[in-house]
């Protein structure tokens, strides 16, 4: 897929689940001067209405209008708007591919509401991979000095062990290593790799995934010059002394890594999808339906995601 991208082109921000906090977080973008143009994608009437309710100044916020399918009430998601949410992603993606936009930033969506509409959807990461023809992508969350990547993403815990294969783990580490160099400017990344089992398997007494899958992959990639440390017990990997000098950390499954990241940087953490032919960053929180329409939701994570998209886009020119 050929991508035409220039950092002088706008960054597009999808406003996410219309009943959640995404629209009001996007409105807060108008409170700051950005070094590149931003375009918010969503229903103009919804954004104007939410701004009026919350007393927010929209300023000169540039809105690319996509109409809702049904009225949106803060805190009350409606499956009738599931296609509207996906149309935003499709429009943003098409603009990134064509070069109309230099990057996309996504506000949160409500996965279960999309599924309730009869649409199979496991998350932004998988959706964007499928629609760009990308065979493998890596979810990386960053904040509070951490860059936590995931070997598996949205899977039931019982399915994780069989999903971790030598080929898959090697592909994940190659993407992580490559994008740390190309998107983050780290010449020789040092990556800490967690084991799957407690105590990293304890020599095979608590599981053999470390011995049979993880260690052979790490040894093979080390011969190519990659700086890989592990497999490490996950309960000590994220301690201060072990983290010192590392550039990223690879967790084997979703909650193993993200529980730590969200504890450390819930308000300011971001999600970066590695391996895509486009630049995509996101907030690292959900739709917060209980906060929607109250004005209490923090836009810190969205601001950090926009900052990261700008930084990465500038490196790609």
Quote the tokens at residue 158: 């019982």
What's the mean per-residue pLDDT of the chain? 94
Instruction: Pick out the residues of the known binding site.
Output: 124-125, 154, 199, 254, 262, 271, 280
Q: Which residues contact 67 (CB under 8 A, 6 or more apart)?
A: 43, 84
Look up the domain containing 220 and give its range.
Answer: 136-275
Instruction: Pick out the residues of the known binding site for a divalent metal cation.
Output: 154, 199, 254
List, for residues 221-251, the tens digit of each pLDDT value: 999 999 999 999 999 999 999 999 999 999 9
Residue with tokens 């964007």: 128
**DSSP class of residue 278?**
S
Residues 143 and 91 in one domain: no
Query: Structurally, how many domains does the chain consist of?
Result: 2
Candidates 58, 55, 28, 57; CA nearest to 44 is 58
Residues 4 and 100 in one domain: yes
Q: Where residue 160 sits, what CATH number does that domain have?
A: 3.40.718.10
Decide if 153 contacts 252 (C-beta within 8 A).
no
Q: How confident is the model at residue 270 (pLDDT cuts 50, 70, 90)?
A: very high
Residues 105 and 29 in one domain: yes
Candidates 233, 230, 242, 247; CA nearest to 169 is 230
Using CA atoms of 74, 76, 81, 82 in order, give the dihedral in degrees to the nearest 10. Answer: 120
List, for residues 174-224, the tens digit of each pLDDT value: 999 999 999 999 999 999 999 999 999 999 999 999 999 999 999 999 999
Residues 110 and 211 in one domain: no
| pLDDT score recorded for residue 5 | 47
Residues 114 and 163 in one domain: no
Residues 178 and 123 in one domain: no
Quote the tokens at residue 310: 């700008």
Regarding pTM above 0.75, the answer is yes
Quote the tokens at residue 134: 């990308």
Confidence check: pLDDT of 316 > 70: no
Residues 87 and 181 in one domain: no
Residues 141 and 120 in one domain: no
Residues 144 and 234 in one domain: yes
Confidence check: pLDDT of 148 > 60: yes
Residues 181 and 115 in one domain: no
Say how far apart CA 224 and CA 226 lie, in whole Å.
6
Candidates 145, 75, 148; CA nearest to 297 is 75
Confidence check: pLDDT of 3 > 80: no
Residues 160 and 209 in one domain: yes
Instruction: Pick out the residues of the known binding site for substrate.
Output: 124-125, 262, 271, 280
Q: Which residues contact 224 (CB under 8 A, 6 or more apart)?
A: none
Strands 270-274 and 227-232, by their bridges, are unpaired
What would the DSSP string read from start to end of 199-264? GGGGGGTT-SHIIIIIHHHHHHHHTTT-EEEEEE-HHHHTSHHHHTT-SEEEESSHHHHHHHHHHH
Reduce the secondary structure of 83-117 to three states and give it as a string.
HHHHHHHHHHHHHHHHCCCCEEEECCCCHHHHHHC
Residues 220 and 283 in one domain: no
Helix (H) or strand (E) holding 142: strand 138-143
């Amino acid at each position: 897929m050929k991508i035409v991208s220039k950092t002088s082109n706008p960054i597009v921000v999808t406003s996410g689940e219309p009943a959640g906090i995404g629209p009001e977080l996007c409105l807060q973008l108008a409170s700051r001067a950005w070094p590149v143009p931003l375009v918010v994608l969503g229903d103009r009437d919804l954004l104007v209405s939410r701004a009026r309710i919350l007393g927010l100044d929209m300023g000169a916020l540039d809105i690319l209008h996509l109409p809702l399918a049904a009225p949106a009430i803060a805190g009350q998601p409606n499956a009738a708007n599931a296609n509207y949410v996906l149309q935003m992603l499709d429009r943003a993606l098409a603009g990134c591919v064509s070069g109309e936009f230099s990057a996309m930033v996504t506000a949160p969506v409500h996965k279960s509401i999309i599924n309730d509409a009869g649409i199979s959807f496991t998350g932004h990461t998988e959706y964007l991979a499928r629609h760009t023809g990308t065979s493998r992508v890596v979810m990386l969350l960053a904040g509070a000095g951490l860059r936590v990547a995931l070997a598996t993403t949205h899977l039931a815990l019982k399915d994780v062990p069989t999903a971790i294969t030598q080929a898959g783990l090697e592909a994940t580490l190659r993407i992580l290593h490559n994008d740390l160099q190309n998107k983050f400017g780290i010449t020789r990344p040092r990556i800490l790799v967690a084991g799957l089992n407690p105590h990293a398997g304890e020599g095979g007494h608590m599981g053999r995934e470390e011995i049979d899958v993880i260690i052979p992959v790490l040894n093979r990639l080390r011969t190519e010059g990659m700086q890989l440390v592990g497999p490490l017990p996950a309960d000590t990997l994220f301690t201060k002394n072990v983290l010192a000098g590392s550039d990223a950390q690879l967790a084997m499954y979703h909650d193993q890594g993200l529980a730590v990241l969200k504890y450390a940087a819930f308000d300011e953490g971001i999600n970066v999808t590695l391996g895509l032919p486009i630049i995509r960053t996101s907030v690292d929180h959900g739709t917060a339906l209980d906060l929607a329409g109250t004005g209490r939701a923090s836009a810190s994570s969205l601001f950090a995601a926009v900052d990261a998209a700008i930084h990465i886009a500038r490196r790609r020119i």
